[in-house]
Amino acid sequence: MKTKFILTLTVLSLVFASCKKKETDTPADPTPTPTPSPTYVISKDSTVEGSSIRVGVYEYNSSKKLVRVKYKLGASTNYTVRDTVIYNANGQVSQVNTLATGSLTPLATSNYSYNGNLLTSVNETVTDGGSPYVRTRSYTYTAGLLSTISVNYSVGSPSPGKPENFTAIAFLGGNISSANLTAVGALTFSTSTAAPNPYYGLNFRSDDILNNFNQNNVLSVFVTASPSTIIISYTYTYADGRVITINESKPLNPNRVTTILYKTL
């Protein structure tokens, strides 16, 4: 009887030892995959310049690419104009159409061309308004960095005083630091690195050199030989490391104030 009891204890101890071994051999849970950081994009901007008001609402696709901006102008409660953005197989902006709400006929069309990753030209056709035009905006590069921008009109002519042709463009830290502007001369660009430029990389406004080619936010552009001669200047307010207001000042013009709202994708 005593021998039977001892055998029983031995069997039980082996069973428990086996269970313990199985528990010990079970691998620990793998390290959980970290949650991707959210991508912050502009959801809405509101721009006030004197008595002029424009509100833009930004829409994106599943690849987090901007595909549409619809605009509400002045005191209107309706969105009356929209920009639609089309991409090529490489994910680059290939065409932007501006249309009136409810219409399929563009008021303006811009077609983009590239050499690899470098934008080489934008052909812009505008049929709306009293001054229709067709122009080509061409870009050249040195060692992969933008060096010139030239604009040629095949129909129409440039607006008086509108910057068009830049040469000797130089960069510092991903931002334009200097350039020569036709009829003005050498310009110096000062930039803040306090926050990224929220419009950089959208590229849907082909005439917007500051936002298309500056990773950060320009503080001022002034005549190099006369630093007090300021062409344009900006002040910013920030929240959570992002720009939330932009105050743009140009001589003889009312300030333009843009307020930006963001969303995550």
Domain CATH code at residue 131: 2.40.160.190
Residue 128: per-residue pLDDT? 77
Distance between CA atoms of residues 66 and 211, nearest Å: 15
Which pTM value belongs to this model?
0.84
Which pLDDT score is estimated for 183? 85
Say if 154 falls within a structural domain.
yes
Nearest 10 degrees: Cα torsion 213, 219, 223, 226? -160
- Going by C-alpha positions, the residue among 92, 101, 98 that lies closest to residue 121 is 92
Residue 199 lies in a domain: yes
Phi, psi torsion values for 22, nearest 5 degrees: -65, -40
CA dihedral 168, 171, 175, 177 (to 10 degrees): -60
Give the model's pLDDT for residue 158.
75
C-alpha–C-alpha distance, residues 199 and 262, integer Å: 12
Closest CA to 244 of 73, 44, 37: 44
Q: How remote is the C-alpha of 223 from its chain's centroid? A: 27
Checking 7-13 for CB contacts under 8 A at 24+ apart, the result is: none
28 in a structural domain: no
Q: Is residue 179 in some structural domain?
A: yes
Pairing of strands 242-249, 166-172: unpaired
Asked whether residue 63 is domain-assigned, the answer is: yes
The total number of residues shown for the chain amounts to 265
Structural domain containing residue 188: 38-264
Would you state the structure tokens that stand for residue 207, as one six-digit string?
A: 């005439």
Cα 102 to Cα 95: distance, rounded to the nearest angstrom: 19
Per-residue model confidence (pLDDT) at position 172: 97
Answer yes or no: is 4 within a domain.
Answer: no
Number of domains within the chain: 1
pLDDT in tens, the chain (265 residues): 444 444 443 433 444 444 444 445 555 556 676 767 789 999 999 999 999 999 999 999 999 999 999 999 998 899 999 999 999 999 999 999 999 999 999 999 999 999 999 999 999 999 876 788 999 999 999 999 999 999 999 988 876 556 679 999 999 999 999 999 998 999 999 999 999 999 999 999 998 999 999 999 999 999 999 999 999 999 999 999 999 999 999 998 999 999 999 999 9
Tell me the backbone φ, ψ of residue 163, rounded to 5 degrees: -60, 135
Of the chain, the end-to-end C-alpha distance in Å amounts to 74
Q: Is residue 31 part of a domain?
A: no
Evaluate whether residue 9 is within a structural domain.
no
